[in-house]
Every structure is written in structure tokens, then in C-alpha cells.
Structure 1
Amino acid sequence: MRTLFGLFLGALVFTAHAAPPIQRLSLPPGFHIAVYSDDVPGARELARGPDGTIYVGSNNGRVYALTDRNHDGRADTVHVLARGLRNPIGVAFHHGDLYVSAVDRIVALRDIADHLDDPPKPQLVTDRLPDKSHHGGKFLAFGPDGKLYVPVGAPCNICAPPLPFAALWRMNPDGSHRELVARGIRNTVGFDWQPGSGKLWFTDNGRDMMGDDLPSDELNRVDRLGEHFGYPYCHQGDTPDPEYGKGHPCKDYAPPAAKLGAHVAALGMRFYTGTMFPARFHGAILIAEHGSWNRTKKSGYRVMAVRVKGNRVLQQVPLVTGFQQNERAWGRPVDVLPLPDGSVLVSDDLAGAVYRVTYSPPH
């Protein structure tokens, strides 16, 4: 979709910029990565409609829809569904409607699949969310219970804010009956439900300014409603906060299922439910690591696969690396989305792209 000049026409957007250097990326043998679309500036959360349309939130006020009408594994059309929203990073598709986060509110684009070229005006679902911009972007997902799950991050690096901050909530699709799911969460930008057990797992970003190697980002599992995961008192399950930890022993809080590494900025995560990838990836958690900003040597900037068995984390292995070389980043993964054919999409808000990861046995 690259052109020699910028052009805006109806709901389609074409821009002039260099193609992402995906030849720099490394994957395990048999895995391949290709550009699905490189015309989605600020691409953040991904969602899929039943007809195969891919919806993309962004950090630039826009919401996109990508269509691959000739089924060649690359989007042939980019639709702009909304403009001027406040940090609409989160998108979730539900019963024909696209739900979009916008910091202090959630809106819906009704019957969106039939209106990609003439998108409807966003309809308010709820405006009962804090308007703080710090950690104000919200990943969205509908759970197996039909509820809309919405995080509210801490409005700071480290502080002890009252609820509804530093927590994960769920509500009815119309915005009613808000209920606490988990608390003590600094900022989750990715969660999913484990096939079989139905348990909710989520990533959480650790605090800054405790040095290069502390604390680790977390992979967590919710075992009971209202569970407390430690923020701001305890980090990574075993490290008291130097400012808020006194009188709040780590044993009082739920420990992480796994430590993911300091400052990797673990964001979007999904369970891999396909069969295209080798058996060792079946049921694994795929995590997009956006990458560090305040570490002497960069960490993250990759897609990881976390193998799990029931409640136990077995192994963490890289799936896609190479978004930064020699301490210079050209891409920053944000979200992962397994598709029905077993391939996986990866969004990148720095390169403004979505990639597709596939597998075929090496010869």
C-alpha cells in the first residue's frame, strides 16, 4: 500500500514512508514474518470481526479497519473509522459492534462491518472512567462471560491511588454494573482467558526508577475476584517498594505466575489456540514486549512465547526478535492476535505496521 505521495480518499488512507525493515527480524526455524499492512500509524490493540476484518486502535486518535479481500495474507484496504478520539488504543468486537477506549470513556461503532466506508458516529457506552492521561490508555476485551473488561492504570509511576485506579474492572456491554476483578495492578495493557480453565491471565508493567534490573514486569493469573497483586507495596512478588513497602509484606499479595524481565514493557498477550505452529507452542501465551525507555541497555522489543501447563509456567522463549539493534529501535511490538488459520498478527506502533507470522516445516 506504499505510494509515492500522500493521498486521502473517503475512508481510505495512503501515506508515503519507508517500508519496515522486516529482514532484520529473527524467528525460530520454520517461522516466517511478512507485512500485513504498513499504513496503520500508531497501531496498538488488534481485534478481529467474524468476517475477517481486523480492527486496530492507535495512539494518534484514529481507529482503523484492515480488509484482505483477496485472502493473500496482506491487507489490501485500510479504512479510517474514527478520528480525534483521545488515545483510542483499545478495540474489542462484540455482537456486530466495535468498542473503543478513549481514556475517560468507552464508545461503540454500531454494526461496523456494514459501514467501513461510511462509519457511524461513535456512540457513548460509558463516561464513568477517570480522565487521567498517565497510564490512561485502556486495552479492552470481552470475556467468556460476555462482560467487557476494562483496566484503569495507576495515574503515576509510583503512588497509592484510591480505586478505581490500579485495578481491572468488568461491566455489562451497555456500561452498567461495574465490578472489581483484580487490584494492585500498576498498568495492564494485555489480558486473555486460558482455554480449558477459563482463568484470566494478564501482563503488568513494573514501576520505574528502581534501577536497570528491578522490578520485573509480571505475568499474572487471577484465581479469585478482587485479588490484590501488590502494587504499590510489593513488586514482582518478592521486592518491597522503597517508598510504600513498609508494613505491607509481600506475602500478603498474589505473586506473579512469571517474571518477564525489568522494563521490557510487556503489553498485549493472547493464548495461542491455533494448530499452524509446532506443538510446543499450542496453548502458549504470546506476549508483545514494547521495550524499555529508561534502561542503560535496552530490554524487550520482541515477541515472546510463554509455555504453560495448567497454572504452571514452564518456559519463556523468543518468537520474534530484531526490532532493535545496537541500542536503536525501528519497531516496538504492542499486541498479538492469533487468527483462525493459526497465523498470528503483531502490531507495531513505532513502524506503524501490522505483521503476520506464519509457520511451515523447514525442508
Structure 2
Amino acid sequence: MLRLTILLWCWLASAHAFNDPVTTLLKLPPGFHIDLYARDLPDARSLALGDDGTVYVGSRKAGKVYAVRDEDGDGRAERRFVIASGLTLPNGVAFRDGALYVAEVSRILRFPGISGRLADPPRPEVVFDGFPTDLWHGWKYLRFGPDGKLYTGVGAPCNICKPADEIYATLVLLNPDGSGLEIFAKGVRNSVGFDWHPETGTLWFTDNGRDWLGDDRPPDELNHAPRPGLHFGYPYCHGGDIPDPRFGRDVDCKRFEPPAWRFPAHVAPLGIRFYTGARFPKRYRGQLFVAEHGSWNRSRPVGYRVVWLEFDHGRPVAEHPFVAGWLRPDGRVMGRPVDVLQLPDGSLLVSDDLRGVIYRIDYRR
């Protein structure tokens, strides 16, 4: 009887630990449900999935990298580990061949054999340490592409400027061992999310537009880079057809790649993920989920939600709300979504750096 009482108390304590009042405020399409997957992850940002189901979580201000595990398959991560601390804006995380890669501002680290050593992480190896040290837009997203290369971005070290070094405002790629650095795309102000189309294998990425042109200009962007060498306009043109007041004089904006999709200004689209699972209804398969982090300097806040972009014949044609409610009608902000990750069972994870949590979105018929 005593053992049964203890087990019941533990179950109730666990359920209470994940009882979250914010998720009750969130609105999703019929049939979808959102719950807490993990908590106590200060400044939770970018997400990566290990080969054993471990979810790795980067941060920014916290300077930490976390790992969380759902070991009993109930849709909640019971175990939490700190893989590293004291790092400089370690936003980006990626996993490949048993190793965790972490992007700081000026370098990329590698934690070999991490899967079996979550409680006792190995000393990281420095894969590459040649990026600029500027903190402004210095945090990086990190992903392995279909070609096996590591992709990341080097943001502009300013709101609007024309840096002398061509490495700024770019997307770059390099080999997993840190060799062979190449600039893949130019004119990219600040991309903190990208993915590859599941059918074409081509790169799509978000880009946050410049500030201080007003509440409604310029639009934030989703861009398509089907090949290397394209220029997406920064700092000369914004949103495809808005010349910059300082750098866009006498510049023909048509010489640059226009956005594939224009988001409202200041919604701050960050992490994106094409949905390839079978758990969600058919209309969502192959579509793009986007985390809108939300505005910081608009007179009336916008964003603070997850949307999905409807693709038709390989191009986005419509934007639909998917998760809303973090921005309350009175202007209060209850959360800021950052990244999206698909789990093997077809559910989606969404990180929230304001609350330091990860949500899990499931579909139940």
C-alpha cells in the first residue's frame, strides 16, 4: 500500500510539473494539441535531433547547450543534461555520425561520441575558429545539408551597413572537419533558420529585414537558393523592391534575387522545417512550418506565433496560422517561438526562448 501511494504521488508530481497554463491559451487548428515537452531550459533556441532520440538545444544569452530525453515515450522529456556552459551565444546545434556540432559566434565546436556521454560530456574539439567576433547578429544557425556539408550564416554586424569583409551578410558552407569554407549566398542580413525542400533538395531560408524604416517596412523574407552564388539584396535593397535610403540610391533592385515569400515586417521569422511525417493530415505534408519570434520595436507587436506556408508546385502560395496565442489581446507576450523540429513519430517540437521551454504538437483524430 505504501509503495502504491509513493508511485501515485510521483505520477501526480510529474503531471503537475508539466501542467502549463500558457498552453491552454494557445490556439491550433482542429485536431491538434500542444503540450510541454521539456522545461527548465533557459533561453532555449535552436534544436537538433540525435540518432537515439535525444534532442539537443542551443541557447544564446544563457551560453549553454542542453540535451533532453523522453525515455518512456510519453511525449515528455523526463531527463535534462547540460552539455556545455560558458559559451559565446551558442545558438546553432547540429548532429551527425554520433557527434554534436555547436556554433558559437566565431567558431564551431564538435562533441564526439556524445550520445553515450550526456552526463559526462567529452571535451569539445574546435572544428573551425575563423568567423568574425562581432556579437551583433553573430549568433548562428547550424545544419547539415543533403550534400553532407555544414551550413551556417554570418550576419551583418549592424542594422544597416556595408561591411568591408565579404564574409558578412552571407550563408556559408564547410566540410565537417572545418575545411573548405565557401560562401554560398550573399546579401543575407540575418538568417537564423533554413531547410532543404524534401523533393527538390534546394535550400530555403528566412531573413530578418532591417529596422527603422517604419512599422510596415520592409517585409521579412523567405528566400530560395537553388544554387550557389546568388545575391539577395542586403544592404542595397529590401523585400525585393525597396531601395535602402542610404545604400540603395541609383541601384536597380532587379539585379538581386527577390524573396520567395514576404512576411509582414518585424515578425522575425527564425527556424523553419518542411514537414515530412505522416502523423499530420495530408494537407500539411511537404509544407513549411515557420517560427515567428515576434517584433521588438514595432509600435504594435506582431508575430509571436507559428505559421505554415502552403506550397504548390514548389513555390509558397499562402500563409496560414498554426499556433497563436503567445501574444495576448492586451499586448502581453507569453512566449517567443524560435525553432521547429520534427520528431520520428511525426510530431513537431517548438522551442521558446522567453519561457525556456519546448512544446510538442501532436495530431489526434
TM over 0.5: yes
In structure 2, C-alpha distance between the alignment counterparts of 1:86 and 1:330, rounded to whole Å: 26
TM-superposed CA distance for 1:251, in Å, is 0.3
Q: Residues 1-363 of structure 1 correspond to what in structure 2 (within 5 A)?
A: 19=20, 21-59=22-60, 60-161=62-163, 162-325=165-328, 326-361=330-365
Return the alpha-carbon distance in structure 2 between the equivalents of residues 208 and 275 of structure 1: 39
**TM-score, L = length of structure 2:** 0.93
Q: Secondary structure at the match of 1:173?
A: coil
> Which has a greater percent of strand?
1
Output the CA distance in 2 between the equivalents of 1:71 and 1:276: 16
Normalized against structure 1, the TM-score is what?
A: 0.93
Give the whole-Å Cα distance in 1 for the aligned partners of 2:327 and 2:312.
31
CA displacement at 1:259 relative to structure 2:
0.3
Structure 2: unaligned runs, 5 residues or longer: 1-16
Shift of 1:50: 1.2
SS in 1 for 2:161: coil
Where in structure 1 are there 5+ consecutive unaligned residues?
1-15
Task: Find runs of 4+ consecutive structure 1 residues off by over 3 angstroms.
Answer: 16-20
| Cα-to-partner distance string for 1:38-82 (whole Å, 9 max, x where unaligned) | 111100000001110000001111100001111100000000000
% identical aligned pairs: 55
Report the alpha carbon displacement of residue 20 of structure 1 after superposing the two structures with TM.
5.6
What secondary structure does 1:58 align onto? coil
> Could you say if the C-alpha distance between residues 17 and 312 of structure 1 is closer, same or farther in structure 2, counting changes exceeding 3 Å?
closer
Amino acid at match of 2:342: P
Contact kept? 2:89, 2:139, Cα under 8 Å: yes
Q: Structure 1 counterpart of 2:336, which letter?
A: R
- Paired with 1:50 and 1:155, the residues of 2 have a C-alpha distance of 35
CA RMSD between the two structures:
1.3
CA offset digits 1:340-362 (Å, max 9, x no partner): 1110000000000000001123x
For the 8 Å contact 1:303–1:320, the answer to whether it is kept is: yes
C-alpha distance in 2 between matches for 1:317 and 1:276: 19
Rounded to whole Å, the distance in 2 between the matches of 1:248 and 1:174 is 39
Deviations 1:219-245 (Å, cap 9, x if unpaired)?
000022110000111111111111111
Question: How far did residue 17 of structure 1 move?
Answer: 12
Q: Which has the higher helix share?
A: 2
**1:138-186 Cα distance to aligned partner (Å, 9 max, x none):** 0000000000001000000001113100000000001100111101000
Over 3 Å counting, the alpha-carbon distance change for 1:314 and 1:207 in structure 2 is same
Tell me the number of residue pairs that the alignment of Structure 1 and Structure 2 aligns: 346
Q: Within 1, Cα distance between the matches of 2:18 and 2:201? A: 42
Question: Does structure 1 retain, via aligned residues, the 8 Å contact 2:18–2:36?
Answer: no
User: One-letter code of the match for 1:63?
Assistant: V
